[in-house]
Amino acid sequence: MRCWAEIDLAALERNLVLIRKSLPAGVRLISVVKADAYGHGIHPTATRLMQAGADTFAVANVKEASDIREMGSGWPILVLGPLLAEEDQALLDYDLTAALSSKEELERFQSLAAKSKQAISVHVKIDTGMGRGGVWWKDALSLIEATMQAPAIKLCGILTHFAQPSDSDFTKEQRKRFLEVIEQAKLQRDPSFLIHADNSSSLRSLETNTVFNAVRIGLLQFGIASPRGSLLADLQVEPVLSFHSKLAMVKELPKGTSLSYDRQYTLRRDSKIGIISAGYGDAIPLHCGNRANGLIQGRSYPLVGRVTMDQTLIDLTDSTTEFELGEKVTLVGKQDRQEILLSTLAEDAETIPWELLCSITKRVPRIYKTKRE
């Protein structure tokens, strides 16, 4: 293998168990596994999460939902994105729950349920300021009432989505709008009725808001820590994914040589340059050249020049050892006492961890570590 990602499923399980123990009593855990479980691989990941005790799964679309349903029938699966009309039948075929955003969707679901003589489960989605999916909060009461009156539609939850959890004032305003809708609708339900707005970043006020009884957990279960100030910020979650490649070549180049496309880096001294056998066609961000680092034999070395599709350059001039070809290079993960966090690489690449995980391409093998310690 020229490059590969290692997925520690035992760490994933430990993270989920830790998160569950840290949530307030009575709060259900909705495990978000959209985009192929954020690049970790949906089948092995969801299977392990089932074993670890996830209450509910949430995905972006019916294709992702069907993949999970084929693994097991005991877990509710919430489809967060709006459905296309031709996808509606999948709600019945795979026993899925839809996030309902409009009366047009409600009419479609009603018609399908009546024809099939089967009930369709929904969570009504409220737009409190994200400006994306969901019914606008001032218009939500009408949709909720229509849903409750629809005989073939089972209303089993209500949700909203925070646009910027780091902005506490706007998040509080969104939460206030959401609570107003819940109060107006007089949603007196049993504990199985899920009321959820929070992900791990916005849990600051969950403890004092007893109306909320579910939380959507995405990156935190994969070991990407929550921001300071979040209820779960101090959890010692473990990174689940690491990314590695190999040293394909080492060459001596004179001072003044420019490197890679667009000549964005010029050597200031006679240098020893290594070629890593992975590039942006695998997972290494295009813009992390001249910013990020890689680990070889437990020591950090800078990436230099622009990252190319299949190869990345690394400056080994300060090394006191001779490297063999095929030497392991770690771009995310640990070597000896050194570690590069995914969040660090994201900062170097001026992007976010979500995009990095989702950009790991199909040509990168995933190696799953399954052993429980």
Q: Which residues pair with 30 in a beta bridge?
A: 56, 216
Tell me what percent of the chain is helix, strand and coil, each rounded to the nearest 5: 35, 25, 40
Helix (H, G, I), strand (E, B) or coil at 264: coil
Catalytic residue among 138, 186, 261, 369: 261
- Residue 311's Cβ-count burial label (10 Å; 0-12, 13-18, 19+) is buried
- What the block records as the tokens of 295 is 């680990």
Q: Is 272 a catalytic residue?
A: no
Q: Which residues pair with 246 in a beta bridge?
A: 328
Residue in the block written with tokens 């299977």: 47
d(CA 46, CA 31): 9
Q: Is 21 a catalytic residue?
A: no
| φ, ψ dihedrals at 323, nearest 5° | -95, 140
Is the Cβ–Cβ distance between 144 and 122 less than 8 Å? no
Residue in the block written with tokens 């080492």: 250
Helix (H, G, I), strand (E, B) or coil at 308: coil
- What the block records as the tokens of 364 is 């990168």
Catalytic residue among 21, 34, 117, 280: 34
Q: Which of 165, 177, 157 is nearest to 79 (CA)?
A: 157
d(CA 55, CA 239): 22
Is the Cβ–Cβ distance between 331 and 342 less than 8 Å? no
> What distances in angstroms separate CA 114 from CA 105, 119, 250, 302, one per listed residue?
14, 8, 68, 62
- Residue 35's Cβ-count burial label (10 Å; 0-12, 13-18, 19+) is middle
Is the Cβ–Cβ distance between 153 and 120 less than 8 Å? yes
**Residues annotated as catalytic (active site), given as ranges:** 34, 261
